[in-house]
Amino acid sequence: MKQRILDTAAMLIQQYGLKRFTVDDIASELRISKKTIYKYFRSKDDIISEYFDQSISSDKDSIRNTMARQGSILERLKAVIHSSHRYPLSVSLLNEVKRFYPEQWEKIDGLKTFKMQLMKNLLDEGVAENIFREDVNYAVFLRMLYEISDMFTDYDFLLQNRLKTSEAIDESLKIILYGAIKKQ
């Protein structure tokens, strides 16, 4: 029942956002009492916290599974960046979290840090295997990736440039990895 409640909350969060969905909405959707919901969750904030815990946990599991498979360093690097979550984290949802739910935003930032460490390990591996150049300052490279990752949650930027989040990520990677200068 706990998972059904959470899955229903996830659907309502996607539909209404974090601030606008209610415990009453969940009870109505599942045709159960609020008392039943409160057996499993102390509050709406508890539901939201579990939503992000499961989403981030599933993202990390997805990354770990990808890292365990044999694939090229570039494939694994892209997989870390394009990892998947149990529940979708849309741009508008991430903006709402950043503004109104600082504890949940810290969890998302922790996921970002986790991904950065994996990417650093992959870059080090790539340098050791002579795939990536040795004369690049990869601390700067990683900082660029970290900083531009906020662009992927900038709804106005994405809308103005008619980009999906995944397209913005791919374009950024293309520029960072291959540059903008034509080969002569």
Does 65 map to a domain? Answer: yes
Same domain, 96 and 152: yes
Tell me: do 110 and 149 sit in the same domain.
yes
- Residues 6 or more apart whose CB falls under 8 angstroms from that of 167 comprise none
Q: Are 107 and 56 within 8 A, CB to CB?
A: yes
Position 22 in a domain? yes
Give the structural domain span for 6.
1-41
Q: Domains in the chain: how many in total? A: 2
pLDDT at position 153 = 67
Q: Is residue 117 one of the residues assigned to a domain? A: yes
Residues 30 and 121 in one domain: no
Q: Are 18 and 59 in contact (CB under 8 A)?
A: no
Asked if the structure places residue 89 within a domain, the reply is yes
| Ordered DSSP codes for 19-41 | TT--HHHHHHHHT--HHHHHHH-
Residue 183 lies in a domain: no
Are residues 15 and 100 both part of a single domain?
Answer: no
155 and 71 co-located in one domain = yes
User: Domain check: are 33 and 90 in the same one?
Assistant: no
> Does the residue 18 lie in any domain?
yes
Same domain, 171 and 81: yes
Same domain, 138 and 89: yes
Residue showing tokens 């991904």? 115
Same domain, 148 and 117: yes
- 3-class DSSP assignment, residue 156: helix
* Claim to verify: residue 100 and residue 154 sit in the same structural domain: yes
Q: Determine phi and psi for 146, rounding to 5 degrees.
A: -60, -45
Separation between Cα atoms, residue 8 and residue 93, nearest integer Å:
16
Which positions of the chain have pLDDT values less than 50?
A: none
Give the number of other Cβ atoms within 10 Å of residue 132's Cβ: 20
Same domain (yes/no): 135, 87:
yes
Q: How many residues does the chain have?
A: 184
**Element spanning 97, H or E:** helix 91-100
Q: Are residues 82 and 19 in the same domain?
A: no
3-state secondary structure of 161: coil
- Cα 2 from Cα 50, distance rounded (Å): 10
Q: What is the CATH number of the domain that holds 25?
A: 1.10.10.60
Let me know: does 158 contact 113? Beta carbons within 8 Å. Answer: no
pLDDT of residue 184: 64
